Amino acid sequence: MADRIIKGDSGNDVVIQNNGGSRKIEVTDSGDVEVTGDFKTTTVKATNLKANDGTAGLVVADSSGEVTSSGGLKATNVKTTNLKANDGTAGISIADSTGRVTFSENNPVVNIGSNATFRSEFPSFIKVFDAGSASASITSGAINNTTGVNFGSTMSFTFPASSTAVIQSIGGTAYGFSTALYLTHIGHAYKSGSDFSNSTDGSFLWSGYCRQDGSLTNAPASASSVLTNTGSEATYYIRLACKSHNAGFFARWDSVLDVTGLSDRNRIITTIMVYKT
User: DSSP states of 185-215 as a string?
Assistant: EEEEEEEESS---STT-SEEEEEEEEEEESS
Tell me what percent of the residues of the chain surpass a pLDDT of 70.
74
| Rounded Cα–Cα distance for residues 115 and 163 (Å) | 12
The domain limits of the chain are 80-107, 125-276
For residue 134, pLDDT beyond 70: no
Question: Of 2.60.120, 2.30.29, 2.10.70, 3.20.19, which CATH number belongs to 125-276?
Answer: 2.60.120
Residue 252 parent element (H or E): strand 252-254
Tell me what percent of the residues of the chain surpass a pLDDT of 90.
9
Q: What number is the average pLDDT over the span 7-20?
A: 79
pLDDT tens sequence across 157-173: 999 888 899 999 888 77
For residue 86, pLDDT beyond 60: yes
Quote the pLDDT of residue 116.
67
The values of phi and psi at residue 257, to 5°, are -65, -35
pLDDT tens sequence across 37-63: 777 778 777 777 777 776 777 777 788
Quote the pLDDT of residue 119.
63
Q: How confident is the model at residue 256 (pLDDT cuts 50, 70, 90)?
A: low
pLDDT tens sequence across 176-230: 655 555 677 788 889 999 988 887 788 888 787 776 665 666 777 888 999 999 9
Q: Which of 147, 167, 136 is nearest to 244 (CA)?
A: 147
